[in-house]
């Protein structure tokens, strides 16, 4: 799978389970209704957070957000609100989940379904709201490393 280039997202949950996690096992699922999925390890704190809050947000990371992708994948980061202390974010109006400033786009989702498979769960979210940011260069993950994607003119 390291040979499969992906984008990178911050998956976040608000409310009593404020938490963030870097992920790349993320995909669109359906256009009508709009749905996305993300695969989360059973062992991750995020697994409990999504299962409990049943709402989450996705911040699609730009090329200049590698430090945030590393931060939210770092197992030594603090838990709860303190993991967001050095991060610029605002609560999503539909979910309360953190939307990271400077991201390329944001989605707010309600948990529609989930499936356990192996050591991960596939969480499917119905998209409640989505917005684009002004950034034009995506953060990519390929061959175990972060890369800056091509710059779009749109
Ligand atoms: C490019 C990239 C893509 C990735 N894609 C995915 C993906 O699609 N899906 C996926 O599942 N993972 C993915 N990961 C891995 C994931 O980002 C990390 O494993 C991340 O640390 C998991 O976050 P977590 O907070 O949910 O769990 P953890 O890292 O296990 O926990 C986070 C924090 O909570 C603390 N903690 C844990 N348990 C307790 C406890 N009981 N009490 C107190 N503190 C505790 C930990 O010490 C740590 O501070 C990806 C990583 C990278 C770099």
Regarding the beta carbon of 40 and ligand 1, being less than 6 Å apart is answered: yes
Q: How far is CA 78 from the centre of its chain?
A: 18
The protein residue whose alpha carbon is closest to atom 11 in ligand 1 is: 40
- For residue 45, give its domain range: 6-151
Ligand 1 centroid from CA 113, angstroms: 21
Q: How far is CA 1 from the centre of its chain?
A: 19
CA-nearest of 14, 19, 29 to 125 is 29
Regarding the beta carbon of 122 and ligand 1, being less than 6 Å apart is answered: no
Quote the pLDDT of residue 152: 83
Q: Which of 23, 37, 98 gets mutated to test ligand 1 (max ligand atoms within 8 A of its CB)?
A: 23
CATH of the domain at 55: 2.30.110.10
Residue found under tokens 């197992």: 75
Q: In what order do the strands lie in the sheet with 35-41?
A: 19-23, 9-13, 55-60, 105-117, 120-132, 35-41, 26-30
In angstroms, the CA 22 to CA 44 distance is 11
Are 137 and 51 in contact by the 8 Å Cβ rule? The answer is: no
Regarding the beta carbon of 25 and ligand 1, being less than 6 Å apart is answered: yes
pLDDT along the chain (154 residues), means of 10: 97 98 98 98 98 98 98 96 97 98 98 98 98 96 95 81
Residue found under tokens 């379904």: 113
Ligand 1 nearest atom to the CA of residue 19, by list position: 25
- 84-99 tens-digit pLDDT: 999 999 999 999 999 9
1 lies in some domain: no
Regarding the beta carbon of 46 and ligand 1, being less than 6 Å apart is answered: yes
For the entire predicted model, the pTM comes to 0.94
90 lies in some domain: yes
38 lies in some domain: yes
CA-nearest of 132, 115, 128, 105 to 56 is 128
Can you point out the beta strands (E) in the chain?
6-7, 9-13, 19-23, 26-30, 35-41, 55-60, 89-91, 98-100, 105-117, 120-132, 137-142, 145-151
Regarding the beta carbon of 128 and ligand 1, being less than 6 Å apart is answered: no
Count how many domains the chain has. Answer: 1
Ligand 1 nearest atom to the CA of residue 74, by list position: 21
77 lies in some domain: yes
Q: Is the dihedral of CA 84, 19, 120, 10 positive or negative?
A: negative
The protein residue whose alpha carbon is closest to atom 6 in ligand 1 is: 23
């Amino acid at each position: 799978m390291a040979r499969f280039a992906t984008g990178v997202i911050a998956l976040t949950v608000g409310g009593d389970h404020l938490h963030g996690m870097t992920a790349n096992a993320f995909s669109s699922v359906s256009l009508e209704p709009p749905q996305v999925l993300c695969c989360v390890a059973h062992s991750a704190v995020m697994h409990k957070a999504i299962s409990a809050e049943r709402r989450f947000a996705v911040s699609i990371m730009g090329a200049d957000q590698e430090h945030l992708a590393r931060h939210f994948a770092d197992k030594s980061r603090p838990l709860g609100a303190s993991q967001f202390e050095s991060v610029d974010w605002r609560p999503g109006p539909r979910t309360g989940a953190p939307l990271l400033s400077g991201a390329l786009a944001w989605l707010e989702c309600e948990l529609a379904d989930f499936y356990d498979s192996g050591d991960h769960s596939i969480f499917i979210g119905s998209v409640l709201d989505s917005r684009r940011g002004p950034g034009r260069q995506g953060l990519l993950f390929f061959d175990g490393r972060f890369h800056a994607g091509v710059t779009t003119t749109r």
